[in-house]
Structure 1
Amino acid sequence: MRADDLWKVSTGKGVTVAVLDTGVDPTAAEIRGRVLKGKDFYNSPPDAGRDTNGHGTNMAISIAGSGAQGGLKGLAPDARILPVTVLKDKVSIGAGKAAAKGIRYAADSDARIINLSMGGHAHGTDRAAEEAAVKYALKKGKLVFASTGNDGEDRVEFPAAIPGVVAVGAVGTNGKVSKFSNTGRQVVLAAPGEETPLHCTESEGEYCEGRGTSVATALASASAALIWSKHPDWTANQVLRVMIETAGHNGPVPSKYIGYGTVRPAQVLLEGKGDPGDPDVNPLLAERQEESPKPSGSPDSAKKQDGEDAQSQPQQEKAANEADGNRTLWIVAGAGAAVVIVVGAVLAVRARNRRVA
């Protein structure tokens, strides 16, 4: 990520990321003063400043953590977080409707980016409401990122499977697609999602080693925040286009494993690569294949995928899998300090070697 160099150019200042999750604790040291007043669409009584699970807070820290008090530092430390509660725990029945309401709320806010570190099956009115909400957000000029899922299956979960959503998979420290990362033709980008420290949900003040497409999604959102902060006049389409064009990859693209490749904001901010192109053309929804951005360049340190991402796949396809009405929250992600910056907590994390799944 070349974070130290990136932060000399952009820190995400002026960009708000809506975190649709289990809520965000505004008192967490790393994000204190960075969390705006949001809204709770799931709990009764509502309280967007409450996070009984910890997942949403960890995602917010992954994006905008300051590193205060020896804590974790996110990739876009000066970004602001808009907390939108649409879940409660690992399995939240009825979260599809709450997510749809949350997406619309975020679309009407000043947030430019909507982060959905969640996945699950939805059907009926929940799925229809989510798709309509995503369309609304896209028309409002928002960038919507969502996790592909952590089952290791050839199926991108909702809401990531909705056309126009940037479906984010995970890669490990070796540059390969993570075995748990769901795959499919809807995958757009990938980001680091293994060996990431996070606040332990069961032990306050301690850190755990986590993994998942949740943190990968948060890091993708943070990458977009860095780029948008440096280029505030760009549209969502242009930010996404340069992210796709500069993504790190080996082999034909897009692939069902990492899409167009792993996010590399340094290529945009430090190397000046990527053509923002037409501000009004969504690279994921372009009617003709030639209108889609063509990735260029090879990663500085990404390793060969051992054939895992060698088969070219069309990028966007409407998912057909419909199962139960539950939404699964991928509580397997953490703050991006191990990927982004080394902090004192990292050594403690590895010493404890505690994992969440």
Structure 2
Amino acid sequence: MTPTRRALVTTLALTAALTTTPTAQAADTPQHPWYFDTYRIEDVWEHTTGEGITVAVIDSGVDPTLPELQGQVLDGTDLTASPQGAHADTDGHGTDMAALIAGTGEGSGIQGLAPGVKILPIRMTLGGVSLGGTERFGEGIIHAIESGAKVINISQGGTIPEDELSEAIALAARHDVLIFAGTGNEGERTNHLAAPASLPGVVGVGAVNSSGERSPYSTYGPQVSLAAPGDDVPGHCGDISGPACIRDEGGTSSATALASASAALIWAQHPDWTKNQVLRVMLNTAERPDDQRRDDYTGYGIVRPDRVVLDGEGDPGDPDSPPIFRDWEAELRPPATPSPTPEATPGPDAGANPAPDAEPAATSDDASPLPWLLGAGAAVLVAGSVGWLLWRRRA
């Protein structure tokens, strides 16, 4: 283990130990998983539960009849080739993601990180296969935007042409909507980059374990912006008709759901903030060594919504200035005035994205580094990959 990685592990472990009190519920239950102590979640809920925020879950559907999801799930839509309704979920993956975000813990069910959130289910997949065709995935994002979702959770990915998603992702940016997507579970094998996490405008989320280390399966690379707990997270044993349990390996699916829930907690407390401000404070308060801005394994660090909600950390900054993807977003709107001089012609080796040191670093008011992800390799999809996969790992 490298010194910087060891520092991250120690910092997160110490934080968990210091925030656990003798009166806290026993950890490692579906109603109180280990990260609740790290996130001081009971204190956070005194300030925000995610109320007023809708999170769209683009997945296999969401079953609203589970005790922990009753009253939490909106109508949604089914975009599969043979629609059964957004509340049909024979796979269970989408329901588990919704519960990690907004579950109430009722009936010994899963307690979500943001139980005040409303879930908008958008059914697209079954058993890891896109049933509506990948070309309809953009329709799911557009439906989420039109339905008033502030956060879109995509705990899956695959080989999909960039142009099938780029327009929908751009529309989300224009409408002040955050998109979080799992980077994938190929870290121990091919480490394929997969859309939509690999595309500009989407916040790629990796997975860590309870020690704060990257989970070995978590796909790594330039698309990773943040990380969140992916192991020892709640789910349902067997199918969703089974009891809630703690699963050893949840995957980047679970990590994405917890990142989405974290954004909802922050946004509910600061409803006047833009997506740029919510994401900026998430990046600047993420758990990471002080001397490290980002790496390809956990991005800018592990999400820490409690630091924003309870400690008031993180400078939201300019509401109109994106903390990452700023070049990409600048291309979405025409320049105010034409450039006074023609741009230099790039050399033969110049790519679509500048090198990481091609733009100046910025800092927040407290001098903490403000990260800029330039998206190098963002649109790269590995030839030979097949299908659209739910980022599931079940022990």
| Common fold by TM > 0.5 | yes
**Among candidates 235, 242, 252, match of residue 281 of structure 2:** 242
Quote the Cα distance in structure 2 between the aligned partners of 1:211 and 1:107. 27
Q: Deviations over 1:134-176 (max 9, x none)?
A: 1111111100000000011544321001101000000001111
Distance of aligned partners of 1:184 and 1:48 in 2 relative to their CA distance in 1, 3 Å threshold: same
Opposite residue 316 of structure 1, the aligned amino acid is: G
1:25 corresponds in structure 2 to 63
Structure 2: where are the runs of 5+ without partners?
Answer: 1-38, 328-357
2:208 corresponds in structure 1 to 171
The structural deviation recorded for 1:69 is 1.2
Q: How does 1:281-300 map to 2 (within 5 A)?
A: 281-287=321-327, 289-290=359-360
Q: How does 1:94-243 map to 2 (within 5 A)?
A: 95-123=133-161, 127-152=162-187, 153-202=190-239, 204-208=241-245, 209=247, 210-243=249-282
Aligned length: 318
Aligned residue for 1:195, secondary structure, equals strand
Quick check: 1:22–1:53 contact (8 Å CA) kept in 2?
yes
Distance of aligned partners of 1:164 and 1:45 in 2 relative to their CA distance in 1, 3 Å threshold: closer
Q: Which moved more, 1:277-286 or 1:29-38?
A: 277-286
Distance of aligned partners of 1:325 and 1:272 in 2 relative to their CA distance in 1, 3 Å threshold: same
The structural deviation recorded for 1:206 is 2.3
Quick check: 1:95–1:326 contact (8 Å CA) kept in 2?
no
Q: Deviations over 1:155-200 (max 9, x none)?
A: 4321001101000000001111110000011210000000112012
Quote the Cα distance in structure 1 between the aligned partners of 2:182 and 2:306. 22
Q: Deviations over 1:79-127 (max 9, x none)?
A: 000000111122336642232110011111211000000021223xxx3
Tell me if 1:269 matches 2:318: no
Tell me if 1:69 matches 2:130: no
Q: Which moved more, 1:196-205 or 1:163-172?
A: 196-205
Quick check: 2:325–2:372 contact (8 Å CA) kept in 1?
no
Quote the Cα distance in structure 2 between the aligned partners of 1:121 and 1:131. 14
Q: Which moved more, 1:76-85 or 1:320-329?
A: 320-329
Quote the Cα distance in structure 2 between the aligned partners of 1:92 and 1:35. 22
Q: Which moved more, 1:206-215 or 1:241-250?
A: 206-215
Tell me if 1:331 matches 2:368: no
- Select the structure with the greater relative contact order (CA < 8 A; seq sep ≥ 6): 1
The structural deviation recorded for 1:15 is 0.5
Quote the Cα distance in structure 2 between the aligned partners of 1:146 and 1:282. 18
TM-score (norm 2): 0.76
The structural deviation recorded for 1:212 is 0.3
2:15 corresponds in structure 1 to none
Q: How does 1:4-19 map to 2 (within 5 A)?
A: 4-19=42-57
The structural deviation recorded for 1:43 is 4.1
Q: Which moved more, 1:224-233 or 1:97-106?
A: 97-106
* % identical equivalent positions: 46
Quote the Cα distance in structure 1 between the aligned partners of 2:273 and 2:240. 42
**Among candidates 36, 47, 53, match of residue 91 of structure 2:** 53
Quote the Cα distance in structure 2 between the aligned partners of 1:35 and 1:112. 15
Quick check: 1:23–1:48 contact (8 Å CA) kept in 2?
yes
Tell me if 1:3 matches 2:38: no
Quick check: 1:108–1:140 contact (8 Å CA) kept in 2?
no
The structural deviation recorded for 1:314 is 5.5
Quote the Cα distance in structure 1 between the aligned partners of 2:359 and 2:268. 29
Extract structure 1 runs of 4+ deviating beyond 4 A: 291-298, 312-315
Tell me if 1:316 matches 2:375: yes
Aligned residue for 2:181, secondary structure, equals strand
The structural deviation recorded for 1:330 is 1.3
Q: Which moved more, 1:202-211 or 1:33-42?
A: 202-211
Opposite residue 54 of structure 1, the aligned amino acid is: G
Opposite residue 100 of structure 1, the aligned amino acid is: G
Quote the Cα distance in structure 1 between the aligned partners of 2:132 and 2:164. 12
Quote the Cα distance in structure 2 between the aligned partners of 1:228 and 1:191. 18
The structural deviation recorded for 1:319 is 2.6
Quick check: 1:244–1:293 contact (8 Å CA) kept in 2?
no
Distance of aligned partners of 1:315 and 1:184 in 2 relative to their CA distance in 1, 3 Å threshold: farther
Opposite residue 286 of structure 2, the aligned amino acid is: A
Opposite residue 390 of structure 2, the aligned amino acid is: L
Opposite residue 284 of structure 1, the aligned amino acid is: I
Quote the Cα distance in structure 2 between the aligned partners of 1:192 and 1:278. 29
Q: Deviations over 1:49-101 (max 9, x none)?
A: 10010000000000000010121100001100000011112233664223211
Quick check: 1:254–1:315 contact (8 Å CA) kept in 2?
no
Aligned residue for 1:145, secondary structure, equals strand
Quote the Cα distance in structure 2 between the aligned partners of 1:270 and 1:163. 31
Quote the Cα distance in structure 2 between the aligned partners of 1:45 and 1:262. 37
Quote the Cα distance in structure 2 between the aligned partners of 1:115 and 1:227. 16
